[in-house]
Amino acid sequence: MNTTIMLFLVQDGITNGAIYALLGLALVLVFAVTRVILIPQGEFVTFGALTYATLSAGNMPGTARLAVAMGVVALGLDLYAGRRALHWRLVARAIAINILLPVAIYALTFWFAGKNTPIAVNIALSLLIVAAIGLSLYRLVFQPLAHTSVLVLLIASVGAHLALQGLGLVFFGAEGLRGPSISDAAFMIGPLRFTGQSIAVYAITIAFIVGLWLFFGFTLYGKALRATAVNRLGARLVGIRTTLSGQIAFLLASVIGALSGILIVPITTLYYDTGFLIGLKGFIAAIIGGLVSYPLTAVAALVVGTVEAFSSFYASNFKEVIVFTLILPVLVLRSLAAPEVEEEKD
Amino acid sequence: MTQRLLPISIFAALMAVIPLIPGMPPFWIVLLNNIGLAALVAMGLVLLTGVGGLTSFGQAAFCGFGAYTTAVLSTAYGVSPWLTLPLSLLVSGGAAVFLGLVTVRLSGHYLPLGTIAWGIGLFYLFSKLEFLGRNDGITGIPPLSIGTLKMLDAGTIYYAIWIAVLVCALLSMNLLDSRTGRAIRALRRGHIAAEAFGVQTPRAKLLVFIYAAVLAGLSGWLYAHFQRAANPTPFGAHAGIEYLFIAVVGGAGYVWGAVLGAGIVVILKEVLQSYLPLLFRGEGQLETIVFGIMLVLLLQLAPTGVWPWLMGRLPFKPARKRPDTSLTLPARERPAAASGALLKIDNARKQFGGVIAVNNVSFDVQAREIVALIGPNGAGKSTTFNLITGVLTATGGTISMQGRNIDNAPPQEVVKLGIARTFQHVKLVPDMSVLENVAIGAHLRGHSGAISSMLRLDRADEAKLLAEAARQIERVGLTDQIDQPAGSLSLGQQRIVEIARALCVDPTLLLLDEPAAGLRHMEKQRLAALLRTLRDGGMSVLLVEHDMGFVMDLADRIVVLDFGTKIAEGTPDAIKTNPDVIKAYLGAVA
């Protein structure tokens, strides 16, 4: 094997793997807090990327409207759920989160769209829009089901994925989009060329891994979020607001998803349905990490990225087959390490 | 005609007439064909997911195995479609064996995630392999034919599809209503209770997994000969999700829910595809948005599906047949009184990390004796039970039953030696009737397998099992509740159902974990009388109980545990005055 080719492939694999790691982290985060296996994570990626690309092209993204629409429905649900004890603070809070926030984001987007906006503003707007969607998604889909089993949550998650992906087609069309890169800087180390974009990918990934690991391992609030996942009732009895925990988890996941999308859309063309596959590769990493360990997930994501890079070079036709079959030996290992007495609940 | 077959016959007659109606638009027949094909796959999912609790998003891939097998063999090698049928089923079943061995042992959410992953992997494999025609697939598949009749149009293959649906529905219902079926239905509520009565849960899981895959393979085979072409698109991840959607819509626990769900979803999809674009002037796939939203709404508002809702609205309730209690099963040989120790526990030890839950405990249970295991909360009583029954593996020591070493034997082996148990936290299947729950206890005393159950060759065997269950229910005094769902009983009654289930094993040693908790005074007295009768009939009883009045009155001997260590053993009178026991319970010498 040619060393230069190998180095190229490894570099490519690590860049991809870093993105999968980010997504894998978000999946672990959401699962650890809400027990939701977040299939729509892929849609956060495409929404983030394509919103950014649309804004950069000077157009108004449809996702801004979606954020407002979801907020309106969420307000309705909030008011209906709290109808027996409606006092002004509850109503004010519900209106602030569900209506004022997305409308403000919409207004900002409307104001900036079309002008020659700086890249940083477009990125910020895209993140805000997807964050608002993520927040409402939890309220609409998962909060009413919070007490049910992992399987019901998973099926609901697949439903949300279908709806969001269909909406993605409506907003962005079937054509793929690309966005401008964050930085045009580049330098060479030996035969390898490092772009500012790929350095940004590495830096942001590492920052998130360390940040999440510190947050969940060493802060009281991080531990409170984890306690919610283990036992909702118990967490509520000791004063943890489980709904707030879920909202924070979805907020973080949607921001991470959108950010990954924004990071890769300058490198590859994204289509409305690309996110699903990218998200699933993050999943494979998350499953290898057992849906609990952040560092293990990150390492697994790098492995997935590298395997993908090598298989697209040597057997490009079977790239996806190889990547998705990677999960089978992992599952075998997990099933051999048989769990201790564990009773599934309905 | 039995009551069971009447509604099916009416439905079959109705379906047979539909294509003969003059002026029936051919498009409707195509739609009905699609419903039948989807219903077959969804029926497998009903057994796998709704009944067995194993969620799969990958069923579409098994359709692909069925379809591509016949496509390749009948086009490239000119094999007759009827000969490819068994091969199609074999290939999809074989794929299920391989994938099942890898995935069904996974607990909870790993299984569905695994199915998504291999579902997508197989989709890409179908679309990349040269001999499967890559993305274009295979065309020119010959039609099914009987003699000179070629099933070229939708109206003739309609019969092949719907006969398959009806036969499979019948086979599935037969399977569920049998010894194997009860084992499958018990899977959803966790494996511990089922295994305690001898059910090989991994085997039962693999069985439904293969069954569901074979039904999907049959659907794929029919699809290939109906479309006369096969390409990867209908076997992808989204199709797999749609099949699950169908099962959830119809009612994931009901065989006919699959047919109903397929009808609703296929028609809805058709309507949405033709009208949504007019309403929203958008590009395609609008129906997936509506589908996704509906799936979420359905889970939030009606998680059990449409079929049970419809059944609940029926003006009449189907009556259940009472089992004929004159049939009997061969009984186990009883040890004679004073024949020595039945159960012997010698220095049993269990450590969970640094916690010593059971610390070198030794005691025995003689034949025809009631022994009570008491002690404060956390003393290690239930852990001792779990060590005896093989739910937990001991860290050290030996446990033997009638001289046979049983430490670290799996629960399925322990129960074969005549040790039956109840659980501190009731482990019944709430939506199964009391009779069916109790019949699980007799699992090892029946012999019919899955195939004979599907073909109803198991009736003699089954009648004996149900008779035994009914007799034990009568013995514990719950005959009035025999047809009620177990989940509708009070907690005290559910404990009694567990005792009846344990008695169905025909045990020599009965382990009862807090049997009197939740019982009223009179019920406790009746339970005590029952246990005395059982002892006099030759059974030994080891029970954990907190009600001291009940224990002191009933037990021949008492063993006291505290913090995992045995602190006293003796007759009730000796225990009552033992200073160590009083100290353990009251903190100081009272």
In order along chain A (346 residues), what is the average pLDDT of each group of 10 residues? 82 87 85 85 93 90 90 88 81 87 90 81 92 93 85 85 90 85 77 81 86 84 77 79 86 92 88 86 80 78 88 83 80 62 41
Q: Is B240 exposed, middle or buried (0-12, 13-18, 19+ CB in 10 A)?
A: buried
What mean pLDDT value characterizes chain B? 87
Contact A162 B238 (CB under 8 A): yes
Q: Which of residues 387-416 of B touch A (CB under 8 A)?
A: 391-392
B chain contacts of residue A321, beta-carbon cutoff 8 Å: 121, 124-125, 128
A chain contacts of residue B285, beta-carbon cutoff 8 Å: 165-166, 169
Confidence at residue B468, expressed as pLDDT on a 0 to 100 scale? 92
Could you tell me which residues come within 8 angstroms of residue B370 by beta carbon, excluding any fewer than 6 positions away? Answer: B531, B532, B535, B540, B541, B543, B554, B555, B556, B557
- Say if CB B135 and CB B253 are below 8 A apart: no
Q: Which of residues 357-386 of B touch A (CB under 8 A)?
A: 386
A chain contacts of residue B241, beta-carbon cutoff 8 Å: 158, 162
Confidence at residue B107, expressed as pLDDT on a 0 to 100 scale? 63
Q: Band of the pLDDT at B318, cuts 50, 70, 90?
A: low
Would you say the C-alpha torsion B404, B406, B412, B413 has a positive or negative sign? negative
Confidence at residue B109, expressed as pLDDT on a 0 to 100 scale? 67
Q: Which of residues 265-294 of B touch A (CB under 8 A)?
A: 280, 282-294
Q: Give backbone dihedrals phi and psi of B139, rounded to 5 degrees, phi first.
A: -115, 175
Confidence at residue A343, expressed as pLDDT on a 0 to 100 scale? 42
Confidence at residue B501, expressed as pLDDT on a 0 to 100 scale? 95
Residue B415's SS3 state is helix
B chain contacts of residue A344, beta-carbon cutoff 8 Å: 53, 107-108, 188-190
A chain contacts of residue B127, beta-carbon cutoff 8 Å: none
Distance, CA of B22 to CA of B121 (rounded, Å): 46
Tokens of A282: 């993050």
Instruction: Give A23's strand partners.
Output: none
Average pLDDT over residues B334-341: 66
Distances in Å between the alpha carbon of B313 and those of B151, B316, B406? 39, 9, 51
Place of tokens 């309609």: B158
Q: Indicate the pTM of the whole model.
A: 0.86
* Identity of the residue numbered B120: I
Instruction: Give B343's strand partners.
Output: B365, B401
Tokens of B213: 């895959």
Tokens of B349: 């030890």
Distance, CA of B163 to CA of A253 (rounded, Å): 49
Nearest-by-Cβ selection for B283 from A160, A173, A277:
A173
Residue B68's SS3 state is helix
Confidence at residue A230, expressed as pLDDT on a 0 to 100 scale? 72
Confidence at residue B259, expressed as pLDDT on a 0 to 100 scale? 94
Q: Smallest Cα–Cα separation from A264: which of A179, A161, A188, A176?
A: A179
Using one digit for the tens of pLDDT, what is the confidence trace for B260-272?
999 998 998 888 8
Confidence at residue B438, expressed as pLDDT on a 0 to 100 scale? 94
Instruction: Give B405's strand partners.
Output: B400
Nearest-by-Cβ selection for B120 from A170, A280, A287:
A280
From B34's Cα to the closest Cα of chain A, the distance in A is 21
Nearest CA in chain A to B116: A280
Confidence at residue B518, expressed as pLDDT on a 0 to 100 scale? 82
Q: A150 vs B150, which has greater pLDDT?
A: B150
pLDDT higher than threshold 90 for residue B68: yes
Distance, CA of A226 to CA of A245 (rounded, Å): 9
Tokens of B20: 């003969």
Q: Give backbone dihedrals phi and psi of B135, rounded to 5 degrees, phi first.
A: -65, -25
Contact A321 B128 (CB under 8 A): yes
Residue B347's SS3 state is strand
What is the ipTM, given to two decimal places?
Answer: 0.84
Q: Does B526 touch chain A (CB under 8 A)?
A: no
Distance, CA of A25 to CA of A294 (rounded, Å): 6
A chain contacts of residue B288, beta-carbon cutoff 8 Å: 162-163, 165-166
Q: Smallest Cα–Cα separation from B117: which of A281, A289, A30, A35?
A: A281
- Say if CB B345 and CB B397 are below 8 A apart: yes
pLDDT higher than threshold 90 for residue B44: yes
Nearest-by-Cβ selection for B118 from A317, A324, A339:
A324
Using one digit for the tens of pLDDT, what is the confidence trace for B199-256?
998 899 999 999 999 999 999 999 999 999 899 989 988 888 889 888 888 888 889 9
From B568's Cα to the closest Cα of chain A, the distance in A is 30
Degrees, nearest 5: CA angle A49-A158-B248: 160
- Say if CB B444 and CB B197 are below 8 A apart: yes
Confidence at residue A337, expressed as pLDDT on a 0 to 100 scale? 64
Q: Are strands B404-405 and B419-421 parallel, antiparallel or unpaired?
A: unpaired
Residue A116's SS3 state is coil
- Say if CB B455 and CB B174 are below 8 A apart: yes
Using one digit for the tens of pLDDT, what is the confidence trace for B160-215?
999 999 999 999 999 999 999 999 998 887 788 899 998 998 899 999 999 999 99
Contact B285 A169 (CB under 8 A): yes
State the best of A31, A327, A332 to mutate against chain B, taking most chain B CBs within 10 Å.
A327
Phi-psi region of B519 (alpha: psi -120 to 50; beta: other; left: phi over 0): beta
Nearest CA in chain A to B430: A346
Nearest CA in chain B to A156: B296
Tokens of A254: 């949607």
Q: Is B22 exposed, middle or buried (0-12, 13-18, 19+ CB in 10 A)?
A: exposed
Tokens of A308: 């993908």
Q: Give backbone dihedrals phi and psi of B352, rounded to 5 degrees, phi first.
A: -110, 100
Q: Band of the pLDDT at B336, cuts 50, 70, 90?
A: low
pLDDT higher than threshold 50 for residue B1: no
pLDDT higher than threshold 60 for residue B435: yes
